[in-house]
Structure 1
Amino acid sequence: MKMPPRQLPQSLDKGLLPIYVVSGDEPLVVQECCDSIRAAAKKAGFSERELLHAEQHFDWGQLLASAGSMSLFAEKKVVELRLPNGKPGDKGSKALQEFARLASDDLLLLLVLPKLDRSQLNSKWIKALDQQGALIQVWPVDAREMPRWIHQRLRAAGLDAEPEAIQILAERVEGNLLAASQEIEKLKLLSDDNLITAETMNDAVASSARYDVFGLIDRALAADADAAIKTLQGLRAEGVEAPVVLWALAREIRSLLEIGEKLDRGQPLQRLVRIQKRQPLVQSALSRLQPRQLESLLLRARAVDNAIKGGRDQDPWTGLLELTLNLCGKRSV
């Protein structure tokens, strides 16, 4: 069954399903959904967890083997499968359909995917998993909804804010939910009476305005490698989390791919990039980066995401530096 993220906590309180498919490109909400499912499973006695990354050349036999193997001390097991490109191929499709048939009260599958397109949603493997569990699709929060989302998040944190203060934060984070959440955590420390005024919000967001992820993106699009590296180093020094930087870079790469495709179909750049000052930046980036190069950068971004989650023996910031250089059109050393 299809389930919006907001209904997940209530559903988990009623009992666990054998399969959860979490799909979307909003890292914060995806992570929170997964955390909720893991916590509910642990509470229900699922003492064993196996994490699999289905990247290129993945052996899908591992998935079925993990379903059949249980440690001596575990009675219930969670198999968490991360599929970065959302496309399992023929072998993966068969393996997932077989896993759906094996689903039981003692075996739980948590499948984490990027946003799925229409063909993926209509695939046999998604339908098989959906019949046995829940499909949780995480949608971006658009600019109109962002103030309300921030207000709800503030209330959940025990805070309230003036409408002007909420608008300041909404404009600052520009749709980045993870950045908004981190700003709210800072506000909890700054607030004395739990009411965030516009002045308090201005001071809070100004404190991190010296280096920001959006400035990093603009400098990378402009192929100003020196400035981009300096900005990246500044972000790290100011305590900005690596997932926030990765979110901004990956979003821009996906955006460039989409804009490039639409330009090839004859749509004007002015319609695709509404902010006039960004139009030459986007045009510059597309002139030096071919679609295959952008697709390669997305694969690199997924590798950095894997490193952030501990799946690769690499410093995530080294990966972010390489990704930034590549977006500038430079080869990483």
Structure 2
Amino acid sequence: MKINLNQLTQHLAGHLLPFYLISGDEPLLVQKASDQIREKAKASGYDERERFQVEAGFDWNELFQSANEMSLFSSRKTIEVRIPGKLTDHARKTLLELAERPNEDNLFIVVTGKLESSTTKSKWFLQLEKQIGFIQIWPLENKDFAPWIRQQFAMHNHTIEPEALDILADRVDGNLLAAHQEIEKLLLLTENPLINTELVIQAVGDSSRYDVFDLTNACLFGELPRAVKILNGLKAEGTEAPIILWALSRELRTLSMVLTRLSAGQPKRQVFQQNGVWKNREAAYEAAMSRCSISLINKLLTQAGRVDSTIKGLEKSDTWMELHALILGMCRTDANTRLIPALIS
């Protein structure tokens, strides 16, 4: 059965399943899900814990041996298996066999990296999913970040003022590890169950750390305030302007090609695949395509050319002001246009 990460707490309030598989590339969320299941298992009498790290040459028979051995110190044990690489044929066969032969004295927690849809839709996996609890973890979207922070405080019987939540979310800006560290720090700083704005302002530093792909993603989604903040952060961190221009220009060229081929009647799925727009970026491109015409993209590419000339000293202008102008153009909407004076003042 599939278990949404947001429903895991509710699920664990009931009976444990004998086998859980957690997949995802967000280490903090994967770890927290593992910890929740482990804590519930310990409270349910699974006092012993065995851990296996699957590497090259791993002997899968060790899992069968562990599953069949009587515990030396407890009648019940948790068996944790971490599989950092791809699921081999031997791995698939072993997991399926263990799941189909549950032992009430054992609880399996298997952790893998992100599983592609070709795996999760395969016949063997669908058969496995019927026997286990499958928790598929995705990176949080921007809209889910503040609720996630609120939930973390709630799990420790704390609440956070709305303004304090906005400040905290803005300071850590999508960095889950930084958010986790700040939450832990705030919980240590006060015994008051209410986290107020004054405490957050005093305690939380600016933990945002950006790369050029954060910037291009914000531009594609038309998130102007975020894009300006990231560009300023990249400048402060010493990122070179040519690298930023390369990333922005690449997205503009891809957008131009995608829009051109779509206007010629080619299927969207085919166009995306041909131009390297993979599933995790489709939403960003859909957002950009809803705002941008081919004509606008071509104008922005011309503008990017002027930025390049400025960087090379062929035009007299401020490179960073030109980059600001370029992202303003990429993010342009009626709502964003009204924000421009405040953002550049």
TM-score, with structure 1 as normaliser: 0.58
Question: What residue identity is the alignment partner of 1:115?
Answer: K
Q: Report what 1:58 is aligned to.
A: 58
How far, CA to CA, are the matches of 1:161 and 1:176 in structure 2?
A: 19
Residue segments in structure 2 that go unaligned for 5+ positions in a row: 213-236, 238-253, 255-271, 289-303, 305-345
Deviation per CA, 1:267-297, whole angstroms, max 9, x where unpaired?
Answer: 7x9x88x9xxxxx9xxxxxxxxxxxxxxxxx
Structure 1 residues 61 and 204, CA, compared in 2 at 3 Å: closer, same or farther?
same
Aligned pairs for 1:21-32 (under 5 A) are 21-32=21-32
Secondary structure of 1:203's counterpart equals helix
Deviation per CA, 1:144-195, whole angstroms, max 9, x where unpaired?
Answer: 1212222333344444444333222212222233321221222234458555
Question: What residue identity is the alignment partner of 2:165?
Answer: I
Asked if structure 2 preserves the Cα contact closer than 8 Å seen for 1:19 and 1:129, the reply is no
Deviation per CA, 1:76-134, whole angstroms, max 9, x where unpaired?
Answer: 2322111112x221111111122122212122211111222101212344334322221
Deviation at 1:16, TM superposition (A): 1.6
Asked if structure 2 preserves the Cα contact closer than 8 Å seen for 1:21 and 1:110, the reply is yes
Amino-acid identity (%): 42
Larger radius of gyration: 2
How far, CA to CA, are the matches of 1:92 and 1:266 in structure 2?
A: 30
Deviation at 1:213, TM superposition (A): 6.9
Question: What residue identity is the alignment partner of 2:27?
Answer: P
How far, CA to CA, are the matches of 1:98 and 1:192 in structure 2?
A: 48
2:209 to 208, 211, 214: 214
Asked if structure 2 preserves the Cα contact closer than 8 Å seen for 1:49 and 1:77, the reply is yes
Deviation at 1:57, TM superposition (A): 2.5
Q: Report what 1:226 is aligned to.
A: none
Question: What residue identity is the alignment partner of 1:94?
Answer: K
Asked if structure 1 preserves the Cα contact closer than 8 Å seen for 2:172 and 2:208, the reply is no
Asked if structure 2 preserves the Cα contact closer than 8 Å seen for 1:52 and 1:80, the reply is yes
Asked if structure 1 preserves the Cα contact closer than 8 Å seen for 2:175 and 2:209, the reply is no
Secondary structure of 1:165's counterpart equals helix
Question: What residue identity is the alignment partner of 2:38?
Answer: R
Secondary structure of 2:169's counterpart equals helix
Structure 1 residues 33 and 201, CA, compared in 2 at 3 Å: closer, same or farther?
same
Deviation at 1:3, TM superposition (A): 0.8
Range with bigger deviation, 104-113 or 171-180: 171-180
Range with bigger deviation, 195-204 or 37-46: 195-204
Range with bigger deviation, 110-119 or 100-109: 100-109
Structure 1 residues 266 and 82, CA, compared in 2 at 3 Å: closer, same or farther?
closer
Alignment length, in residue pairs?
Answer: 230
Asked if structure 2 preserves the Cα contact closer than 8 Å seen for 1:172 and 1:205, the reply is yes
Asked if structure 2 preserves the Cα contact closer than 8 Å seen for 1:96 and 1:125, the reply is no
Asked if structure 2 preserves the Cα contact closer than 8 Å seen for 1:46 and 1:78, the reply is yes
Secondary structure of 2:57's counterpart equals coil
How far, CA to CA, are the matches of 1:135 and 1:31 in structure 2?
A: 15
TM-score, with structure 2 as normaliser: 0.56
Structure 1 residues 61 and 200, CA, compared in 2 at 3 Å: closer, same or farther?
same
Structure 1 residues 191 and 46, CA, compared in 2 at 3 Å: closer, same or farther?
closer
Deviation at 1:37, TM superposition (A): 1.7
Structure 1 residues 42 and 125, CA, compared in 2 at 3 Å: closer, same or farther?
farther
Structure 1 residues 161 and 110, CA, compared in 2 at 3 Å: closer, same or farther?
closer
Residue segments in structure 1 that go unaligned for 5+ positions in a row: 219-230, 232-258, 275-279, 281-333
Q: Report what 1:225 is aligned to.
A: none
Secondary structure of 2:130's counterpart equals helix
Secondary structure of 1:214's counterpart equals coil
Question: What residue identity is the alignment partner of 2:201?
Answer: N
Structure 1 residues 138 and 60, CA, compared in 2 at 3 Å: closer, same or farther?
same
Secondary structure of 1:170's counterpart equals helix
How far, CA to CA, are the matches of 2:66 and 2:139 in structure 1?
A: 33
